[in-house]
């Protein structure tokens, strides 16, 4: 149940970001990339996001935060889900952060 709540929250936040990013939301596609940790989440929420907003969510895998940030700056992606703060070089390219939520990650080894 907690996962569904988090996915719903993420979807709501993504909706707000998408509508702010896209001028014409009808039949639009929002390309999103970023940290690999969100790739599967984007695939999971894509259908519900499209049903709610009419915007097709296209998760672009294997970019990482740096690659996705560069793609946003180049106009290839509409949104990045970053795993870190912007670098000075990324800020100089005109990127800004809209920190909407944070998620904790923990690694355990034996």
106 pLDDT above the threshold of 80: no
pTM: 0.67
Band (pLDDT 50/70/90 cuts) for residue 39 is confident
Which is more confidently placed, 50 or 110?
50
Give dist(CA 74, CA 48) in Å, integer: 28
Average pLDDT over residues 7-32: 58
Q: Count CA atoms closer than 13 A to 16's CA, side-chain side.
A: 9
> Residue 86: exposed, middle, or buried by beta-carbon count in 10 A (0-12, 13-18, 19+)?
middle
Model confidence pLDDT, tens digit, residues 46-105: 898 888 888 898 888 888 889 999 999 999 998 888 888 889 999 999 998 887 666 666
């Amino acid at each position: 149940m907690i996962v569904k709540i988090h996915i719903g929250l993420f979807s709501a936040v993504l909706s707000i970001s998408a509508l702010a990013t896209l001028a014409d939301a009808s039949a639009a596609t929002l390309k999103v990339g970023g940290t690999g940790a969100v790739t599967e989440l984007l695939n999971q929420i894509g259908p519900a996001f499209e049903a709610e907003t009419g915007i097709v969510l296209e998760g672009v895998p294997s970019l990482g935060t740096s690659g996705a940030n560069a793609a946003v700056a180049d106009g290839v992606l509409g949104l990045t889900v970053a795993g870190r703060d912007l670098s000075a070089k990324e800020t100089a390219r005109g990127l800004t952060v809209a920190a909407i939520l944070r998620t904790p990650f923990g690694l355990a080894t034996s």
